[in-house]
Structure 1
């Protein structure tokens, strides 16, 4: 590929006649997209994971800049009783994964907890008792509390993966009970924040109405409880038929957040601006890439898009998970079809993952964010002329500017020319931190300039720039304008994201996969040595201490 040369001070770019045109990247360091929240980079943990509290896992999470941990684990939360460390339906809970052990891990990692209270088989009093134990008796200071997991998957719309023992499973009943939970919990600690479960805009069952209803889940819940909640919860699992589709899906995020904000402005009144958005589950499981390089690129791009559009946190699913079936090959790499960021050492059909606690590329995609941003830094506006190169930029309090460049082309290096507004970088070669295909660490180097870089195929490269003078430090970014209207949320393939997780009764089932109108379900893994029979009759077993999963399919009818 042709050489690329840049004038250090003026940013002059010289290409030979045979070179592909450089991708133009513009960084507007004077336009703020908000402050990086302290809870921004999060991760899911689960009581069925016997390795949740491994010291190696804790050290790796801390090194990756994980600042929030979600507990006790997806749909398990709607069956989990924290006082007894038991699960309704006889599902597996691993020894040593109770609340106090989890909090010890959160402390080692330096992460804030977000707790999902048991709505499915619990009560407001049980949740209030948990708040009292956590914040009054133990002084843990747990701030964020979700009321239930994916409650609309309780069968009300025809497909069931979430335990809900309430006789009335309607959104009206959820909203009414949500208010009761909030009242009981805030009576114990007025400082806690209460979150309401919403359906992701454009993703089933958003827009669905049951017989006799006048509105869908989101409108119904927020009409009743919108003025009483502190944050809105959505889960995002984009459905992608190819790695290219997956890597383009973060473009949906602007429209998703705009749609949620529109709902909040409609129903939360003067309180709307203070209601936060939390993305408490996301990953790339509804695509070909789970642990290969495309998933790593998707992870870093996804976190930053959500944070730039105002999410208070993003929690990847999950720490450990295990293979659901034999691995595949994606882009020349083995993909273990594992939703965890660290290997659980599981085996399926004679195929085994790397040793337990080996980081997958998704881990490195998340850890790449440590080279870009720290809590309190200011995210600023940046844009790329081509979809194949994503860009994110952050200004730090010491006057530095960091620019993350993601080359989504799996085969070709990308030549990039960069220009800046509101910031003048120092001349000369710049420090870069990169993660490339096949890498087992982040690589630091001094190469290229602030004006020109060559990005390896399928890579994440962060430029760590210094200002040319003290004047750059004084240029305070101004807020970016607020989008006026919601944007479309469908992916490039026209599909809507769905996901899967362990069910409340210990049965790994999930939300309907839109690629199969009969309701195909994908699944997460669980660590156990027992057979699950209640509420679903699927086998989930452990090979040694590794998490292993067998997948089932559901034929429940549902809206599309």
Structure 2
């Protein structure tokens, strides 16, 4: 019985024979072809009106760091009436609001979706945009998901069946894996809020099957009139922390030391560069990399790069495979043996995550990190050292029990979208979620930290999506997100923030985190992406002075007014995808001659269009759709 068993620790040898290319995958149905040719005149079929007891047997499932609930309320669009399900959530991993057709003995017509093209329902939100996902357990209990969202007020939403893809992160143990979205006997429907770190509510009304191809929409206006107001007497942030304009640099970036990279990075006016980059920080030994003198960027080369770009270094020491002694030696190398004066240090990177090869518990991390910090500060008491935290959760409380009297702050990461679930409107609404996220982190430090001790907040990684970025990262949408996010960071004025990153790689999904392209990219090396130009524009417009009160009456046009050592600047972000914003500037004291820069999707590699501009009270200005505009007065 066991003659083919391989002993523990021994390698397994596999033989592959008769490999062939085939024209078709047996049993596979191409969604684009199938749904492109699909025809049906079946009328809409209501699945949920939330009026009966059976139709209220929904369930909640949440991750350990999230909370979610639902209730049924009388609410409907103007032309309708009846009940809606009101979903409330605080999202830090996942929240699911589920209806199980099989368990509720739903009629066959409610489970057979094969005569329809998609799902249709109405959503109400008070946010500028509410992103969410629709998830379905198909006939074989395979889990499928599609991205959706709704604008402020009531919105009719249609989610086409062709837009569902197999959920990549988990599948039920009893799922029958056919690779096809089998909907002749659907098991469950699930509404999943999106947007890490957000807390919100939205309502869903009148869920039905439909053959409509387009949701009802108000006509898209060619332009909207927007009034921009502000006051130099109302200070939001007295002194913008220069640390918020940081970025990540990686030891595996073979293009980092190129002269063109130096010039591009220097031109942005960053303040801090974080090294050695992501999960590799807990894998590579800095001494071995320094001794190897190979293609990797060692710690001394990184410091040279910092000097060449007029930036300071932030270093993440190796918690995963490293030792306390290695970390202390790293501080000694730069701050005692050499006069590098590296002030900013972190202990490890994302050790809480199941994607991390050295994942550990909060208890273990807290105990060991205390040892790291004490040893590092014995070498140089002037350095600042932060611990790995999460946006919200018990991890922070447990770690702080061990390090609250020795740590200088917390470092957290924020990627508002989950891979495969990118949504342009959802991403563009995410910078404003910092209004909830940053105060929440501050409350946790105040509640669980040492009384009277001031802790810094370092947001040492941020970008649009957590893994496997898609084409959105290369688009103007990511650029708008970057500029708006930096404006919000200036508002909340945490001590450090580091964008991810200078260079990365084109993924199989067609995206790239890097704001500059790397060697091997289709467009060549060191080609600036829209995110680069947006970062540079925001860095120079926001400056390092004061952020003043300004605003518009539109959720889709944001404004940031600053005063920096005599320089007055205004940054405007138009998040309307197809609508021009005709703004009128009514800011007392914001008058004179200066320069205007405008970044649009058409700007391309040369970057924003530049020109002279004069501002008077009541000056009118047209902001193109999806654009960033900065005005800096002489």
TM-score normalised by structure 1 residue count:
0.68
C-alpha deviation, 1:298, in angstroms: 0.6
Paired residues of 2:244 and 2:489 also in contact (CA < 8 A): no
Q: How does 1:431-450 map to 2 (within 5 A)?
A: 431-439=595-603, 440-447=606-613, 449-450=615-616
Which of 356, 369, 382 pairs up with 1:161? 356
SS of the equivalent of 1:152 reads coil
Paired residues of 1:233 and 1:280 also in contact (CA < 8 A): yes
Q: How does 1:248-267 map to 2 (within 5 A)?
A: 248-267=429-448
Corresponding position of 1:35: 239
Cα distance in 2, alignment partners of residues 47 and 458 from structure 1? 34
Which of 337, 340, 343 pairs up with 2:517? 343
Cα distance in 1, alignment partners of residues 404 and 229 from structure 2? 38
Cα distance in 1, alignment partners of residues 624 and 294 from structure 2? 42
SS of the equivalent of 2:632 reads strand
Cα distance in 1, alignment partners of residues 446 and 357 from structure 2? 29
Task: Report Cα offsets for 1:78-129 as digits up to 9, x if no partner.
Answer: 1121111189xxxx99625100011111110111111000001111211111
Corresponding position of 2:525: 356
Please state if 1:462 is matched with 2:630: yes
Corresponding position of 2:581: 414
Paired residues of 1:297 and 1:365 also in contact (CA < 8 A): yes
Paired residues of 1:172 and 1:220 also in contact (CA < 8 A): yes
Paired residues of 2:591 and 2:614 also in contact (CA < 8 A): no
Corresponding position of 1:12: none
Cα distance in 1, alignment partners of residues 357 and 560 from structure 2? 36
SS of the equivalent of 1:319 reads coil
Task: Report Cα offsets for 1:512-548 as digits up to 9, x if no partner.
Answer: xxxxxxxxxxxxxxxxxxxxxxxxxxxxxxxxxxxxx
Q: How does 1:61-210 map to 2 (within 5 A)?
A: 61-85=265-289, 95-153=295-353, 159-164=354-359, 169-201=360-392, 207=393
SS of the equivalent of 2:242 reads coil
Please state if 1:393 is matched with 2:558: no
Corresponding position of 1:289: 472
Cα distance in 2, alignment partners of residues 224 and 134 from structure 1? 27
SS of the equivalent of 1:372 reads helix
Cα distance in 2, alignment partners of residues 194 and 218 from structure 1? 16
Cα distance in 2, alignment partners of residues 241 and 142 from structure 1? 37
* Count of aligned pairs between the two proteins: 403
TM-score normalised by structure 2 residue count:
0.61
Paired residues of 1:79 and 1:120 also in contact (CA < 8 A): yes
Structure whose residues are more often strand by fraction: 2
Residues 174 and 19 from structure 1, CA distance in 2 versus in 1: closer, same or farther, beyond 3 angstroms? closer
C-alpha deviation, 1:412, in angstroms: 2.1
Paired residues of 1:80 and 1:86 also in contact (CA < 8 A): no
C-alpha deviation, 1:232, in angstroms: 1.1
Paired residues of 2:428 and 2:575 also in contact (CA < 8 A): yes
Which of 418, 422, 425 pairs up with 2:590? 425
Corresponding position of 1:277: 457
Higher relative contact order at CA 8 Å, sep ≥6: structure 1 or structure 2? Answer: 1
Corresponding position of 2:400: 222
Paired residues of 2:290 and 2:300 also in contact (CA < 8 A): no
SS of the equivalent of 1:50 reads coil
SS of the equivalent of 2:238 reads strand
Corresponding position of 2:481: 298
C-alpha deviation, 1:424, in angstroms: 1.6
Which moved further from structure 2: 113-122 or 441-450? Answer: 441-450
C-alpha deviation, 1:228, in angstroms: 2.2
What is the CA RMSD across the aligned residues, in angstroms?
A: 2.2
Cα distance in 1, alignment partners of residues 484 and 357 from structure 2? 30
Paired residues of 2:374 and 2:406 also in contact (CA < 8 A): no
SS of the equivalent of 2:562 reads strand
Q: Over alpha carbons, which structure has the higher Rg? A: 2
Cα distance in 2, alignment partners of residues 415 and 354 from structure 1? 34
Cα distance in 2, alignment partners of residues 28 and 232 from structure 1? 34
Paired residues of 2:290 and 2:299 also in contact (CA < 8 A): no
Cα distance in 1, alignment partners of residues 480 and 260 from structure 2? 24
Residues 229 and 381 from structure 1, CA distance in 2 versus in 1: closer, same or farther, beyond 3 angstroms? farther
Cα distance in 1, alignment partners of residues 326 and 284 from structure 2? 11
Which of 528, 534, 540 pairs up with 1:365? 534
Task: Report Cα offsets for 1:217-239 as digits up to 9, x if no partner.
Answer: 11111233223211211101011
Corresponding position of 2:70: none
Can you give the 5+ residue segments of structure 2 that lack an aligned partner in the other structure?
1-220
SS of the equivalent of 1:183 reads helix
SS of the equivalent of 2:411 reads strand
Cα distance in 2, alignment partners of residues 438 and 197 from structure 1? 40
Task: Report Cα offsets for 1:259-311 as digits up to 9, x if no partner.
Answer: 00001111224444x31111111112357511110001111111221232122
Cα distance in 1, alignment partners of residues 481 and 613 from structure 2? 25
Corresponding position of 2:491: 308
Which moved further from structure 2: 115-124 or 286-295? Answer: 286-295
Paired residues of 1:345 and 1:354 also in contact (CA < 8 A): no
